[in-house]
Protein backbone atom coordinates (compact mmCIF):
# COMPACT_ATOMS: atom_id res chain seq x y z
CA UNK A 1 0.00 0.00 0.00
CA UNK A 2 1.24 3.50 -0.79
CA UNK A 3 -0.11 6.35 1.36
CA UNK A 4 0.68 9.89 0.15
CA UNK A 5 1.98 12.54 2.56
CA UNK A 6 2.01 10.15 5.53
CA UNK A 7 4.69 10.19 8.25
CA UNK A 8 6.48 7.00 9.21
CA UNK A 9 4.89 5.11 12.13
CA UNK A 10 6.78 3.54 15.01
CA UNK A 11 5.18 0.16 14.22
CA UNK A 12 2.77 -1.54 11.82
CA UNK A 13 0.45 -4.30 13.05
CA UNK A 14 -1.60 -6.47 10.68
CA UNK A 15 -4.74 -8.42 11.61
CA UNK A 16 -6.92 -10.61 9.42
CA UNK A 17 -9.63 -13.29 9.77
CA UNK A 18 -7.27 -15.50 7.75
CA UNK A 19 -4.81 -15.97 10.64
CA UNK A 20 -4.61 -15.94 14.42
CA UNK A 21 -3.38 -12.85 16.26
CA UNK A 22 -1.32 -10.00 14.82
CA UNK A 23 1.53 -10.05 12.33
CA UNK A 24 4.09 -7.29 11.90
CA UNK A 25 4.07 -5.19 8.75
CA UNK A 26 6.86 -3.08 7.31
CA UNK A 27 6.79 0.64 6.56
CA UNK A 28 9.32 2.68 4.61
CA UNK A 29 9.42 6.02 2.84
CA UNK A 30 9.18 6.35 -0.95
CA UNK A 31 9.64 10.03 -1.71
CA UNK A 32 6.74 11.85 -0.07
CA UNK A 33 4.71 8.66 0.40
CA UNK A 34 4.71 5.89 3.00
CA UNK A 35 4.87 2.32 1.67
CA UNK A 36 3.30 -0.34 3.90
CA UNK A 37 4.06 -3.99 3.07
CA UNK A 38 1.77 -6.76 4.33
CA UNK A 39 3.28 -10.15 5.30
CA UNK A 40 0.57 -11.93 3.28
CA UNK A 41 -2.93 -11.39 1.94
CA UNK A 42 -5.70 -13.88 1.29
CA UNK A 43 -9.17 -12.32 1.60
CA UNK A 44 -8.49 -9.06 3.41
CA UNK A 45 -6.38 -7.59 6.18
CA UNK A 46 -6.34 -4.46 8.32
CA UNK A 47 -3.13 -2.51 8.84
CA UNK A 48 -2.83 -0.53 12.08
CA UNK A 49 -0.16 2.19 12.10
CA UNK A 50 1.06 3.10 15.58
CA UNK A 51 2.04 6.73 16.33
CA UNK A 52 2.96 8.64 19.48
CA UNK A 53 0.31 11.19 18.47
CA UNK A 54 -2.28 11.21 15.70
CA UNK A 55 -0.54 12.59 12.58
CA UNK A 56 -1.98 15.35 10.45
CA UNK A 57 -2.67 13.91 7.01
CA UNK A 58 -3.34 15.75 3.78
CA UNK A 59 -4.09 13.13 1.15
CA UNK A 60 -4.89 15.54 -1.66
CA UNK A 61 -3.28 18.77 -2.78
CA UNK A 62 -5.49 21.52 -4.14
CA UNK A 63 -5.81 21.65 -7.89
CA UNK A 64 -4.55 24.79 -9.59
CA UNK A 65 -6.93 25.40 -12.49
CA UNK A 66 -5.64 27.62 -15.30
CA UNK A 67 -7.80 29.75 -17.56
CA UNK A 68 -7.93 29.14 -21.32
CA UNK A 69 -6.82 32.11 -23.39
CA UNK A 70 -5.45 32.25 -26.91
CA UNK A 71 -2.73 34.69 -25.90
CA UNK A 72 0.81 34.71 -24.61
CA UNK A 73 0.76 34.42 -20.80
CA UNK A 74 1.70 37.69 -19.12
CA UNK A 75 3.50 35.90 -16.30
CA UNK A 76 5.47 32.67 -16.21
CA UNK A 77 6.70 32.38 -12.61
CA UNK A 78 4.47 31.03 -9.87
CA UNK A 79 5.45 30.63 -6.20
CA UNK A 80 3.77 27.61 -4.60
CA UNK A 81 2.73 28.10 -0.97
CA UNK A 82 2.71 25.46 1.72
CA UNK A 83 -1.01 24.98 1.05
CA UNK A 84 -0.26 23.99 -2.55
CA UNK A 85 -1.83 27.13 -4.04
CA UNK A 86 -0.32 30.00 -6.01
CA UNK A 87 -1.36 33.64 -5.49
CA UNK A 88 -1.28 34.60 -9.18
CA UNK A 89 -3.20 31.61 -10.54
CA UNK A 90 -5.19 33.95 -12.79
CA UNK A 91 -2.06 34.33 -14.97
CA UNK A 92 -1.68 30.59 -15.62
CA UNK A 93 -2.82 29.68 -19.13
CA UNK A 94 -4.28 26.25 -19.87
CA UNK A 95 -2.97 26.35 -23.45
CA UNK A 96 0.62 25.11 -23.29
CA UNK A 97 1.85 26.17 -26.71
CA UNK A 98 4.23 24.12 -28.83
CA UNK A 99 6.40 24.95 -31.83
CA UNK A 100 3.64 26.10 -34.20
CA UNK A 101 2.98 29.33 -32.29
CA UNK A 102 6.31 30.50 -30.79
CA UNK A 103 4.88 34.01 -30.27
CA UNK A 104 2.33 32.56 -27.80
CA UNK A 105 4.85 30.55 -25.77
CA UNK A 106 5.73 31.53 -22.21
CA UNK A 107 5.87 28.21 -20.32
CA UNK A 108 5.25 28.22 -16.55
CA UNK A 109 7.90 27.82 -13.88
CA UNK A 110 6.83 26.88 -10.36
CA UNK A 111 9.04 27.88 -7.42
CA UNK A 112 8.45 25.17 -4.85
CA UNK A 113 9.93 23.94 -1.55
CA UNK A 114 9.33 20.23 -0.88
CA UNK A 115 11.58 19.15 2.02
CA UNK A 116 11.01 15.43 1.37
CA UNK A 117 10.42 15.65 -2.35
CA UNK A 118 7.24 14.88 -4.21
CA UNK A 119 5.72 15.31 -7.64
CA UNK A 120 3.98 17.71 -9.98
CA UNK A 121 0.76 16.31 -11.39
CA UNK A 122 -0.45 17.70 -14.71
CA UNK A 123 -3.89 16.76 -16.02
CA UNK A 124 -3.88 16.91 -19.82
CA UNK A 125 -7.24 17.16 -21.55
CA UNK A 126 -6.46 17.44 -25.27
CA UNK A 127 -3.78 18.17 -27.85
CA UNK A 128 -3.78 19.69 -31.34
CA UNK A 129 -3.56 17.56 -34.47
CA UNK A 130 0.21 18.09 -34.60
CA UNK A 131 0.50 16.59 -31.11
CA UNK A 132 2.55 17.80 -28.15
CA UNK A 133 5.57 16.82 -26.06
CA UNK A 134 5.59 17.87 -22.41
CA UNK A 135 8.98 18.24 -20.76
CA UNK A 136 9.51 18.84 -17.05
CA UNK A 137 12.72 20.54 -15.97
CA UNK A 138 13.96 20.91 -12.41
CA UNK A 139 16.45 23.76 -12.03
CA UNK A 140 16.97 23.71 -15.79
CA UNK A 141 17.65 19.96 -16.02
CA UNK A 142 15.24 17.71 -17.90
CA UNK A 143 13.78 15.07 -15.57
CA UNK A 144 10.99 13.59 -17.69
CA UNK A 145 9.38 13.99 -21.10
CA UNK A 146 6.05 12.62 -22.34
CA UNK A 147 5.01 12.47 -26.00
CA UNK A 148 1.31 13.17 -26.60
CA UNK A 149 0.35 12.32 -30.20
CA UNK A 150 -3.04 13.36 -31.53
CA UNK A 151 -5.71 10.74 -30.88
CA UNK A 152 -8.97 12.12 -32.23
CA UNK A 153 -8.02 14.39 -35.13
CA UNK A 154 -10.42 17.07 -33.87
CA UNK A 155 -8.03 19.93 -32.99
CA UNK A 156 -10.48 20.82 -30.21
CA UNK A 157 -9.20 22.10 -26.85
CA UNK A 158 -12.49 21.28 -25.12
CA UNK A 159 -12.40 17.62 -26.18
CA UNK A 160 -11.54 14.94 -23.62
CA UNK A 161 -9.12 13.26 -25.95
CA UNK A 162 -6.64 12.38 -23.20
CA UNK A 163 -8.18 13.30 -19.84
CA UNK A 164 -5.10 11.80 -18.17
CA UNK A 165 -2.91 12.86 -15.26
CA UNK A 166 0.84 12.87 -15.82
CA UNK A 167 3.24 12.83 -12.86
CA UNK A 168 6.68 14.44 -12.82
CA UNK A 169 9.11 13.79 -9.92
CA UNK A 170 10.50 16.60 -7.77
CA UNK A 171 13.56 15.91 -5.57
CA UNK A 172 13.78 17.14 -1.96
CA UNK A 173 14.55 20.81 -1.40
CA UNK A 174 13.81 24.17 -3.04
CA UNK A 175 13.51 24.05 -6.81
CA UNK A 176 12.34 25.80 -9.93
CA UNK A 177 10.10 23.36 -11.78
CA UNK A 178 9.33 24.25 -15.39
CA UNK A 179 6.89 22.63 -17.79
CA UNK A 180 7.35 23.25 -21.49
CA UNK A 181 5.85 21.91 -24.68
CA UNK A 182 8.43 21.15 -27.39
CA UNK A 183 5.95 19.31 -29.60
CA UNK A 184 4.21 20.35 -32.79
CA UNK A 185 1.36 22.38 -31.32
CA UNK A 186 -0.65 23.10 -28.18
CA UNK A 187 -1.74 20.89 -25.29
CA UNK A 188 -4.58 21.84 -22.95
CA UNK A 189 -3.82 21.46 -19.23
CA UNK A 190 -6.98 21.20 -17.10
CA UNK A 191 -5.18 21.45 -13.74
CA UNK A 192 -1.87 21.24 -11.87
CA UNK A 193 -1.29 19.84 -8.36
CA UNK A 194 1.73 19.26 -6.14
CA UNK A 195 1.93 15.98 -4.24
CA UNK A 196 4.05 15.91 -1.09
CA UNK A 197 4.78 18.05 1.95
CA UNK A 198 5.20 21.71 1.04
CA UNK A 199 6.97 24.50 2.91
CA UNK A 200 7.46 28.23 2.38
Residue 123 lies in a domain: yes
142, 83: one domain: yes
Residue 60 lies in a domain: no
The 3-state DSSP class for residue 43 equals coil
Range of the domain at 84: 77-195
32, 114: one domain: no
What does R_g of the chain's alpha carbons equal in angstroms? 20
96, 161: one domain: yes
Residue 157 lies in a domain: yes
Residue 44 lies in a domain: yes
State what percent of residues in the chain have pLDDT above 90: 70
| Range from 20-34, 50-64, 76-90 that averages highest in pLDDT | 76-90
Residue 98 lies in a domain: yes
pLDDT in the model for residue 85: 92
Q: How many domains does the chain have?
A: 2
**pLDDT digit string, tens, across residues 112-171:** 999 989 999 999 999 999 999 999 999 999 999 999 999 999 999 999 999 999 999 999
User: Can you tell me the mean pLDDT for 84-108?
Assistant: 96
pLDDT in the model for residue 144: 97
Cα 122–Cα 183–Cα 160 angle in degrees, nearest 5: 50
CATH of the domain at 164: 2.60.120.260
Residue 68 lies in a domain: no
Cα 77–Cα 113–Cα 97 angle in degrees, nearest 5: 30
Amino acid sequence: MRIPNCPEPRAVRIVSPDWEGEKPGKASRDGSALCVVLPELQAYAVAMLDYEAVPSLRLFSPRIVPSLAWARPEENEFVVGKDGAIPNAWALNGFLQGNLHPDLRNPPTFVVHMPRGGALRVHVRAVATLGARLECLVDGQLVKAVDLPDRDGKDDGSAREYDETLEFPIPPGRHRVSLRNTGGDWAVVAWYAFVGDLAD
